[in-house]
Structure 1
Amino acid sequence: MTALDMGLLVLRVATGLTLAAHGYVKFFRGGKIAGTGRWFDSMGMRPGRVHALLAASTEVVAGVLFALGFLTPLAAAAMIALMIVAAWTSHRENGFFIVSNGWEYNFILAVIAFSVATTGPGSASIDEVAGFGTGSWQSALIALVVGVGAGLAQLALFYRPQPADAPS
């Protein structure tokens, strides 16, 4: 295993498990899916419960796949889509920096996902063992086009925020 492979392994596992933990929390902590659904409704992602289930499931599955280095371009695409939707619906109005609840975290996770899709997940991955390849411009393009497309489609189809002057 090269230093690059070790670096990719650490990056994939840390990032993937962090994302999976976000999904886990939506399922099992705090307000669970019902509470997350109400929060999604309040942000304009309707129907909130459906999007809470979709977001939590995608975070867990994409996070685990990314950590394992399995179907990496698709896991990266799912991560990019999630981060676009989260950045736009929950963090956009707060600016860039996470200390102000901005979209910095969403941005860096999407960049990591795209970067790993481009380089490939490294030799310590299921993709490598299964012979799925080690990354390429094609993998990067899949992650970017599918991820951005899915995120924008979800926003276009389901994001319906209340106008600022509407009664709550």
Structure 2
Amino acid sequence: MDGYAYDTALLILRVCLGLTMAAHGYNKFFGGGRIPGTAAWFDSIGMKPGTLHARIAATVEMAAGLGLAVGLLTPIPAAGFVALMLVAAWTVHRPNGFFIVKEGWEYNLVLAVSAVGLATLGAGRFSLDWLIFGHNWFDGWAGLLISLGLGLAGGIGQLLIFYRPPQRTETK
């Protein structure tokens, strides 16, 4: 494959993944329930305080999404994808199994792994990384380790510090 086709493929993947994630953040800020509705939902799933987590999630979704889309410091927004999707998979989708058709964690895995893959390959020539640095910013093993390491640390840290599973009540 010639270099321009490769870089075009990276651009297509970055823009699709990035704008998808940014749309989720936009929806939290400006969609139906906005931050108050999202905060109530976060409280209900055990991410407390809900308002803090609604703001953090919306901001990281938009920043990571747009950062990946434009290819700016690519492993950093990819780490945001990993952290966000780990928290979502653990708090919401884990009890439902793997498949998305049953509200499982399949979609979370695909977004996180795709972002890590892009961080490993690098943003390509059609990116701000290339424009600013003249090459990919920390691609290869460094991109993999930065995106996966920071993402897992962020997601696990958030779960350990803030996640309090809702108590299930038995009905008879």
Check whether TM > 0.5: yes
TM-score (norm 2): 0.94
Structure 1's 132 and 146: CA in aligned 2 closer, same or farther, altered over 3 A?
A: farther
Cα offset, 1:132, TM superposition:
6.6
Identify the match of residue 96 of structure 1 among 95, 98, 102: 98
Indicate yes or no: 2:159 matched with 1:147: no
RMSD over aligned CA atoms reads 1.4
Segment of structure 1 superposing worse, 130-139 or 91-100: 130-139
Q: TM-score, normalised by structure 1?
A: 0.96
> Cα deviation per residue 1:129-159 (whole Å; 9 max; x = unaligned)?
1117421201110101100010000000000
Moved over 3 A (4+): none
Deviation at 1:5, TM superposition (A): 0.5
Distance 2:15 2:170 in 1: 44
The answer on whether the counterparts of 2:10 and 2:118 sit within 8 Å (CA) in structure 1 is yes
Question: How has the CA–CA distance of structure 1 residues 132 and 118 changed in structure 2, closer, same or farther, with 3 Å as cutoff?
Answer: farther
In structure 2, runs of 5+ residues without a counterpart are none
Alpha-carbon deviations, 1:67-93, whole Å to 9, x = none? 000010100001100000000011111
2:76 corresponds to which of 74, 77, 100:
74
Matched letter for residue 44 of structure 2: S
Task: Count residues with an aligned counterpart.
Answer: 167
Is structure 2 residue 125 aligned with structure 1 residue 127? Answer: no
2:88 to 86, 89, 92: 86
Partner of 2:28: 26
The gaps in structure 1 that reach 5 residues or longer are none
Counterpart among 140, 143, 153 of residue 136 in structure 1: 140
Correspondence 1:157-168 to 2 at 5 A:
157-165=161-169
Letter in 2 for 1:121: A
Distance 2:170 2:128 in 1: 50
